Amino acid sequence: MKIAIVVVVILVLLLVLAAVVLVRRRRAGGRMIVTHPDLPKRDGP
Amino acid sequence: MSTRYVPPLVLGHDVVGLPVVDASSGNDVAEVRDVVFDPTRGGLVGFTLTKRSFWRGRMKQLLPIEGVLSVGTHAVMVEDGSALADPADAPAEVRRADPSADVLGNLVVTESGRQLGELVDVVIVGGSAPRVVGYRLSGGLVGDGLVPLHAHSGLSSSALVVPDDLEPRVRSDLTGLAAELADLERDRS
């Protein structure tokens, strides 16, 4: 019984750790940021 | 016979996560986190960075474009570790890059009011003078496609307004976009 509880606790901890890693990686950027968000008109290249 | 180097066309999301490699030592010193560019000229001005570790925490240091030797398909090359700059020493346009000025998710609308789609990525020409040359759209009138960044009428935090004549220039892949950019270059010269 005790072993089962320990195994479950370890599994839960591993799941929490995996979730934290996933969230951190998802927040790890990937933005395309412009220097001038309000852009004047641009004509041609 | 010499081979001419042609800078590659890459999607912005493919640049994110690339290792930043110190060309003098061969060590990877960071990872690309965000791309910062000037929409008026398309030129990249720098990158924000992530640590090269399991936890991938954000690095305080920034990578101004002046320190970049080349943006390739598998790495961003810098001359040495001094290319990374502390925020206080970085050029203002990199230092002041506002994460809320992210163009992804912007609606792309023509001057006549037709919604072409949502901006889901940028197209970058790599090499030693990397710049944004196009956008990838999705989910609108034109479906999934790539359009050249040759002209636009306005950009806000939520929308990019483009000329009406951009609609027929939508291409389905990077090869098509490269041909379209070559056409535009020819028209211009």
Q: What is the pLDDT of residues A2-43, one digit of tens each?
A: 899 999 999 999 999 999 887 776 666 789 998 877 655 444
Enter the DSSP assignment of B91: -
Is the model's pLDDT at B72 over the cut of 50?
yes
Contacts of B17 in chain A (CB under 8 A): 28, 30
Residues of B in CB contact (< 8 Å) with A are 12-13, 16-17, 32-40, 45, 48, 50, 54-58, 93, 96-104, 121-122, 132, 150-157, 184-185, 188
Where in chain B does DSSP place strands (E)?
9-11, 19-22, 28-37, 44-50, 58-64, 68-71, 76-78, 107-110, 115-125, 131-138, 145-148, 154-155, 159-162
Q: With pLDDT > 70 as the criterion, what percentage of chain B qualifies?
A: 95
User: Which CATH number is associated with domain B9-99?
Assistant: 2.30.30.240
Query: What's the mean pLDDT when you consider all of chain B?
Result: 87
Mean pLDDT of B140-166: 78
Contact between chains at B34 and A38 (C-beta distance less than 8 A) = no
Percent of chain B past pLDDT 90, that is, above it, reads: 41
Minimal Cα distance from B150: which residue of A? A45
Instruction: Quote the pLDDT of residue A25.
Output: 66
When pLDDT is cut at 50, 70 and 90, the band that residue B53 belongs to is: confident
pLDDT score recorded for residue B153: 60
Higher pLDDT, B53 or A28: B53
Burial of B127 (0-12, 13-18, 19+ CB in 10 A): middle
Rounded Cα–Cα distance for residues B46 and B61 (Å): 11
> Is 0.90 surpassed by the pTM of this model?
no
pLDDT band at B109 (very low <50, low <70, confident <90, very high): confident
Per-residue pLDDT reduced to its tens digit, B3-25: 777 888 999 999 999 999 999 99
pLDDT at B2: 61
Q: A20 to chain B: which residues are within 8 Å by CB?
A: none
Query: Between B6 and B83, where is the model more confident?
Result: B83
The confidence score (pLDDT) of residue B183 equals 83
What is the per-residue pLDDT for B96?
Answer: 86
Nearest one of B153, B144, B121, B147 to B134, comparing CA atoms: B147
- Interface A–B counts its CB contacts (< 8 A) at 104
**Can you tell me the distance from the alpha carbon of B139 to that of B161, in angstroms, rounded to the nearest whole number?**
16
d(CA B67, nearest CA chain A) in Å: 18
Q: Is the pLDDT of residue B188 over 80?
A: no
Could you tell me how far CA B78 lies from the centroid of its own chain? 17
Q: For B90, list phi and psi in degrees, rounded to 5.
A: -80, 150
Query: For residues B161 and B170, is the Cβ–Cβ distance under 8 A?
Result: no
Higher pLDDT, A43 or B89: B89
B143 or A27: whose pLDDT is higher? Answer: B143
The CATH 2.30.30.240 portion of chain B extends over 9-99
Q: How far apart are CA B41 and CA A41, in angstroms?
A: 12
